[in-house]
């Protein structure tokens, strides 16, 4: 089965508006549904990373971008949004092919990409500081938000264009210059988006990109002394490495890391809508999603009926080629990840849990060349089981029953992660009380895997540090600078005036 119709794409780094070939070996990407070669990228070593950071440094220290008015930055970002809008279908196809995500899902994400750039443009136009006008006679102060400098943006493979759009336009709106490092598996849409940013008129040195591997290119970039702020999305394990390097260099960091969201369904909820959302939240993007509703908590009185319905709807999902309009679930990102996910499925089978649907790799009906796993639901899961505790990042849903709100909150918070949770109820008091007690950056009520560019996103606990997107997302790339102005005399304790003139 193949979703590829063209020659493999071949990309170099984009540094200061110029295509720069690799100073190290090159990398290849294969379509995870077919194994077919689809792209070849440069691999940045120290030399390429130095060049890219130097270009961003020059553009920040001496270039026009940080000095443009907010209105001018907004205008160029809107032009960028419009070019991305025109390229949506092509970008969606690139992400679909390299991630293995169904094309229908990729198209939705590209709408989100455009929305983020447009929203960031509005922030560039409207960002403002603070003023203190009642400090004292003849003494006023104002604080402006100044860009932090050179931003390193490190993006994972699961939502390549969307996660880039949660960082790049906000960094640019703030006046930062950037060096992007996309995932080694899914770099194409990022390269194409950088070209569109240049075409829009955003100065070349303000947006640079190096492709390559995490432990080489990524590590070199995030620990580079000339980088001022690192915005990283990826695993908690890698996030710790980035944080310790940034701690050593005293850089600002934003970390968006792993998750293990609970999806809490109370008996009084609209169970029909909740069942659809439970399937969607667990299996969107094959479960390769940091906010997947991977732990389904259902109130005991409705659990049997509700879970049976979720399983029935899950069996209607179509697993297949990402290029097929009818596909709901594509392949996993690569063979190593498939083995990891299947390891969790085995752990589920070996515990007292029962796979009521799925529970295996799919190799029939033309799926044999790809990394396909059947959407899987385990019931009878103990909260201590690995499948309930650890981030699987695949299409595996664990179901646990609860008795009351206290029990639901205890189970929901029984995780090292705190990125997002969801709850379903028709009682507004339950909605308020439970959402207040669930420890995560986001809580969805009667919805799941939802959002808008205005709404800050990020995690507590092992899910990260800081908030992305929205106004808080812009502020990740700025710091305040206070200007204090005294227009009259100030009484100083010394030098003492003893009368007469000195």
Site for ligand NDP in 170-189 (CB under 6 A): 181, 183-185
User: Among residues 118 and 462, whose Cβ is nearest to ligand NDP?
Assistant: 462
- Within 10 angstroms of residue 8's Cβ, the number of other Cβ atoms is 13
Annotate 331-392 with three-state secondary structure. Answer: CCCCHHHHHHHHHHHHHHHHCCCEEEECCCECCCCCCCCCCCECCEEEECCCCCCHHHHCCC
From CA 126, how far away is CA 315, in angstroms rounded? 48
Count how many residues are written for the chain.
502
Under DSSP, the state recorded for 319 is: B
Residue 435 CB, nearest approach to ligand NDP (Å): 19
**DSSP annotation of 487:** -
CB-nearer residue toward ligand NDP: 53 or 311: 53
Interacting residues of 21 by C-beta distance below 8 A, sequence separation 6+: 12, 13, 42
C-beta of 117 vs 221, nearer to ligand NDP = 221
Binding test (CB under 6 A) with ligand NDP, winner from 63, 147, 258, 453: 258
Smallest separation, CB 465 to ligand NDP (Å):
11
SS3 assignment, position 193:
helix
Q: Which of 34, 96, 178, 222 binds ligand NDP (CB under 6 A)?
A: 222
Longest Cα–Cα distance of the chain, Å, equals 101
Compute the least distance from the CB of residue 468 to ligand NDP, in Å: 7
Q: Indicate whether 154 belongs to the interface with ligand NDP (CB under 6 A).
A: yes
Query: Following DSSP, what letter does each residue of 45-73 receive, concatenated?
Result: -HHHHHHHHHHHHHHHHTSSGGGS-HHHH
- Give the count of beta carbons closer than 10 Å to the beta carbon of residue 347: 17
Q: How far apart are CA 484 and CA 132, in angstroms?
A: 9
Is 238 near ligand NDP (CB under 6 A)?
yes
By CB under 6 A, is residue 256 in contact with ligand NDP?
yes
Residue 10, Cβ density class (10 Å: 0-12 exposed, 13-18 middle, ≥19 buried): exposed
Q: How far apart are the first and last CA of the chain?
A: 92
Distance of CA 125 to the CA centre of its chain: 24
104 scored as a contact of ligand NDP (CB under 6 A): no
Q: Which of 66, 214, 254, 473 binds ligand NDP (CB under 6 A)?
A: 214
Please tell me the count of residues contacting ligand NDP according to CB under 6 A: 32
How crowded is the C-beta side of 172, counted as CA atoms within 13 Å? 37
Write down the least CB distance from residue 185 to ligand NDP, Å: 6
* Site membership for ligand NDP, residue 66 (CB under 6 A): no
- From CA 176, how far away is CA 103, in angstroms rounded? 33
Does position 344 interact with ligand NDP (CB under 6 A)? The reply is no
Strands (E), 175-328: 177-181, 207-209, 229-233, 252-256, 262-265, 295-299
From candidates 215, 300, 305, 308, binder to ligand NDP by CB under 6 A: 215
Give least dist CB 6 to ligand NDP, A: 23
Examine residue 213 and tell whether it contacts ligand NDP (CB under 6 A).
yes
Residue whose CB is less far from ligand NDP, 16 or 391? 391
| Residues 380-399, mask of contacts with ligand NDP (x by CB under 6 A) | -----------x-x------
Residue number closest to ligand NDP, CB atom: 214
- Residue in this structure with the two tokens 């009906």, named with its chain if needed: 365
Q: Judged by CB under 6 A, does residue 412 bind ligand NDP?
A: no
Minimum Å gap between C-beta 43 and ligand NDP is 9
Binds ligand NDP by CB under 6 A, chosen from 32, 234, 254, 293 = 234
- Minimum Å gap between C-beta 430 and ligand NDP is 27
- Among residues 77, 212, 72, which one has the least CA distance to residue 152? 212
Tell me which residues in 113-142 interact with ligand NDP (CB under 6 A): none
Q: Which stretch binds ligand NDP (CB under 6 A): 7-15, 255-263, 279-287, 310-318?
A: 255-263
Show Cβ contacts of residue 133 under 8 Å, excluding neighbours closer than 6 positions.
Answer: 140
Which one from 97, 184, 256, 401 is the annotated catalytic residue? 256
Pair type for strands 295-299 and 130-136: unpaired
Subset of 271-310 contacting ligand NDP (CB under 6 A) = 290
- Tell how far CA 216 is from the center of its chain: 21
Residue 290 annotated as catalytic: yes
Residue of 208, 70, 197, 75 lying closest to 145 (CA atoms): 70
Q: Give 145 or 217: the residue with its C-beta nearer to ligand NDP.
A: 217
Q: How far is the CB of 176 from ligand NDP (least distance, A)?
A: 19
Task: State the catalytic residue, choosing from 118, 290, 401, 476.
Answer: 290
Which one, 390 or 407, has the nearer CB to ligand NDP? 390
Which of 63, 259, 330, 358 contacts ligand NDP by CB under 6 A? Answer: 259
Question: Using CA atoms, how far apart are residues 187 and 181, in angstroms rounded to an integer?
Answer: 8
86 is a site residue for ligand NDP (CB under 6 A): no
Strand locations in 184-305 (E)? 207-209, 229-233, 252-256, 262-265, 295-299
- Give yes or no for residue 327 binding ligand NDP (CB under 6 A): no
Which region among 188-196, 256-264, 300-308, 323-331 touches ligand NDP (by CB under 6 A)?
256-264
Q: In whole angstroms, how close is the CB of 311 to ligand NDP at the nearest point?
A: 25
What are the residue numbers of the active site? 256, 290
Residue numbers of the site for ligand NDP (CB under 6 A)? 154-158, 163, 181, 183-185, 213-215, 218-219, 222, 233-235, 238, 241-242, 256-259, 290, 391, 393, 419, 459, 464
């Amino acid at each position: 089965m193949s979703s590829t119709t063209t020659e493999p794409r071949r990309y170099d780094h984009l540094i200061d508006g110029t295509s720069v070939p690799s100073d190290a070996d090159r990398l290849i990407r294969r379509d995870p549904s077919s194994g077919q070669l689809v792209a070849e990228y440069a691999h940045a070593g120290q030399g390429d990373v130095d060049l890219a950071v130097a270009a961003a440094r020059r553009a920040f220290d001496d270039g026009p971008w940080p000095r443009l008015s907010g209105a001018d930055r907004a205008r160029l970002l809107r032009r960028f949004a419009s070019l991305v809008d025109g390229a949506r279908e092509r970008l969606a196809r690139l992400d679909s092919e390299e991630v293995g995500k169904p094309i229908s899902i990729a198209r939705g994400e590209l709408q989100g990409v455009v929305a983020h750039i447009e929203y960031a443009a509005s922030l560039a136009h409207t960002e403002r500081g603070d003023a203190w006008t009642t400090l004292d006679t003849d003494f006023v102060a104002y604080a402006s938000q100044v860009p932090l400098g050179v931003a390193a943006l490190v993006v994972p493979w699961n939502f390549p264009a969307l996660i880039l759009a949660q960082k790049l336009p906000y960094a640019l709106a703030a006046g930062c210059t950037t060096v992007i490092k996309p995932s080694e598996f899914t770099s194409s849409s990022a390269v194409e988006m950088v070209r569109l940013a240049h075409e829009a008129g955003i100065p070349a040195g303000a947006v640079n990109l190096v492709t390559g591997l995490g432990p080489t290119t990524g590590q070199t970039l995030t620990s580079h002394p000339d980088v001022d702020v690192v915005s990283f999305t990826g695993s908690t394990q890698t996030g710790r490495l980035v944080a310790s390097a940034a701690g050593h260099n005293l850089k600002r960091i934003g970390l968006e890391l792993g998750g293990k969201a609970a999806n809490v369904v109370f008996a009084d909820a609209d169970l029909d809508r909740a069942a659809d959302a439970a399937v969607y939240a667990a299996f969107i993007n094959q479960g390769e999603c940091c906010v997947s509703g991977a732990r389904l908590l259902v109130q005991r009185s409705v659990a049997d009926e509700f879970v049976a319905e979720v399983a029935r709807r899950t069996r209607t999902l179509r697993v297949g080629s990402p290029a097929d309009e009818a596909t709901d679930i594509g392949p996993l990102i690569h063979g190593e990840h498939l083995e990891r996910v299947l390891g969790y499925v085995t752990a589920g089978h070996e515990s007292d849990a029962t796979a009521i649907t799925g529970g295996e790799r799919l190799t029939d009906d033309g799926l044999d060349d790809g990394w396909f796993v059947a959407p899987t639901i385990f019931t009878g899961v103990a909260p201590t089981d690995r499948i309930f505790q650890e981030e699987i990042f695949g299409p595996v849903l664990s179901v646990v029953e609860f008795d009351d709100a206290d029990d639901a909150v205890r189970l929901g918070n029984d995780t090292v992660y705190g990125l997002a949770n969801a709850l379903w109820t028709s009682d507004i008091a339950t909605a308020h009380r439970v959402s207040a007690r669930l420890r995560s950056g986001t809580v969805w009520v009667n919805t799941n895997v939802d959002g808008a560019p205005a709404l800050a996103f990020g995690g507590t606990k092992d899910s990260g540090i800081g908030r992305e997107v929205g106004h808080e997302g812009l502020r990740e790339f700025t710091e305040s600078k206070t200007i204090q102005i005294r227009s009259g005399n100030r009484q100083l304790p010394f030098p003492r005036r003893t009368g007469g003139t000195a």
